[in-house]
């Protein structure tokens, strides 16, 4: 998607550790459920998300399949591929980079979900489906900038697809479904309005970022940006080694994720924190367990420690706290205090 223009390297981004960590954890374990990045204007939200594209590992897909079907996982195949496999036909495969799809604010529902060509269906008797953005984003990343300005009905469509992993399009009695499993990344500026609580709850992690106040760091950021704008390719070359190292680390972490263990005592304490904070539902418990395991895996350990949990629990729970309608999202202090009491 961004192949034609040079992208700012992820490893060159100064500060904003919370946002970078959230994105990395989601790449290691896509089942964490995406990340909502909230922060001031001009703090590098979009730059960081787009920089992630470079680091994404490759996946095995079926050639000529618009849904990036996984040839080895029946749950993640389109009907077209499943039929071929059931009929013992040969399926050609190739590897490709995980894709990142940008959802424009003005997108129509047809553009997002795809459309059925009724004329073809009626005259030729075949199901003709024009895939939309959800099809492109399957097994990849769907990025929505200014998610708090998106139409409510589109938000509902996205959330249904993100929760079920499938997208269904129905027109005049014809129905077509395809897999749509993607990491949903949203960014927004709190000044432009808060998100509905049920929407916030669907994002696995919530990263808050502010403007860097340290003058030295600000100068460093300005200099880096100027150097990149002046000569993007030379700037990228400077960071090539670090980028490759991080890409390899993410790839091996994805392979090892199933071997990481979390002690039942720590699980009990995570649920105790969630119950003490009165968090609705069990998403908070599930996401905290997953994020802690992904962090331990990223740091090359086989067992989760309480330090891992302390690092990720504010990201997992701060947007799930019940709050006074007039206050903005808690910065995570309340979560940390409860954590310290229980651990």
- The tens digit of pLDDT for each residue in 50-67 reads 899 888 888 889 888 888
Q: What value does the mean pLDDT take over residues 149-175?
A: 83
Query: Choosing from 50, 139, 254, 283, which is the catalytic residue?
Result: 283
Query: Percent of the chain scored above 90 by pLDDT?
Result: 43
Give the integer Cα–Cα distance in Å for 174 and 177: 10
Give CA–CA dist 270/260, Å, rounded: 17
283 is annotated as an active-site residue: yes
**For domain 10-16+33-57+98-209, is the CATH number 3.40.50.300?**
yes
Q: DSSP characters for 201-253?
A: TTSSEEEEE-----HHHHHHHHHHHHHHHH-HHHHHHHTHHHHHHHHHHHHHH
- Domain range summary for the chain, segments of one domain joined by +: 10-16+33-57+98-209, 259-342
pTM above threshold 0.85: yes
Say whether pLDDT at 120 is over 80: no
* 2 pLDDT higher than 50: no
Pick the CATH number of 259-342 from 1.10.8.80, 3.40.50.150, 3.30.70.260, 3.40.50.10170: 1.10.8.80
Q: How far apart are CA 89 and CA 70, in angstroms?
A: 16
pLDDT of residue 150: 84
Determine the 3-state secondary structure of 167 from DSSP. Answer: strand
Q: What is the pLDDT of residue 241?
A: 94
- Cβ 203 vs Cβ 184: under 8 Å: yes
Mean pLDDT along residues 120-143: 83
3-state secondary structure of 257: helix
User: 10-16+33-57+98-209 with 259-342: one CATH topology?
Assistant: no
Kindly tell me if the per-residue pLDDT of 127 is higher than 70.
no
DSSP 150: S
| The pLDDT of residue 327 | 58
Q: What is the pLDDT of residue 1?
A: 43
Nearest-angstrom CA–CA distance, 197 and 178: 28
SS3 at position 291: helix
């Amino acid at each position: 998607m961004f192949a034609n223009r040079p992208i700012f390297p992820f490893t060159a981004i100064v500060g904003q550790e919370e946002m970078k960590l959230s994105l990395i954890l989601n790449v290691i374990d896509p089942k964490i459920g995406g990340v909502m990045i909230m922060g001031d204007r001009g703090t590098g939200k979009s730059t960081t998300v787009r920089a992630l594209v470079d680091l994404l590992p490759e996946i095995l897909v079926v050639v000529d399949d618009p849904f990036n079907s996984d040839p080895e996982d029946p749950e993640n195949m389109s009907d077209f591929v499943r039929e071929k496999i059931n009929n013992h036909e040969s399926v050609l495969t190739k590897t490709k980079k995980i894709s990142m799809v940008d959802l424009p604010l003005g997108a129509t529902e047809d553009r997002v979900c795809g459309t059925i060509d009724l004329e073809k269906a009626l005259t030729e008797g075949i199901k003709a489906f024009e895939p939309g953005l959800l099809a492109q984003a399957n097994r990849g990343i769907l990025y929505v900038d200014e998610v708090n300005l998106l139409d409510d009905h589109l938000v509902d469509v996205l959330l249904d697809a993100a929760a079920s992993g499938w997208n269904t399009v129905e027109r005049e009695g014809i129905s077509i479904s395809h897999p749509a499993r993607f990491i949903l990344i949203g960014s927004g500026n709190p000044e432009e309005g808060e998100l509905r609580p049920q929407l916030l709850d669907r994002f696995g992690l919530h990263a808050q970022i502010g403007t860097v106040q340290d003058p030295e760091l600000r100068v460093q950021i300005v200099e880096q940006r100027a150097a990149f704008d002046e000569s993007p390719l030379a700037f990228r070359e400077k960071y090539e080694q670090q980028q490759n190292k991080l890409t390899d680390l993410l790839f091996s972490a994805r392979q090892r994720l199933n071997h990481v263990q979390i002690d039942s005592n720590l699980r009990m304490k995570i649920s105790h924190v969630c119950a003490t904070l009165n968090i609705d539902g069990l998403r908070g418990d599930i996401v905290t367990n997953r994020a802690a395991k992904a962090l331990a895996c990223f740091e090359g350990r086989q067992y989760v420690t309480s330090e891992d949990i302390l690092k990720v629990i504010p990201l997992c729970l701060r947007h799930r706290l019940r709050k006074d309608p007039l206050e903005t999202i808690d910065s995570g202090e309340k979560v940390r205090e409860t954590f310290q009491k229980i651990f």
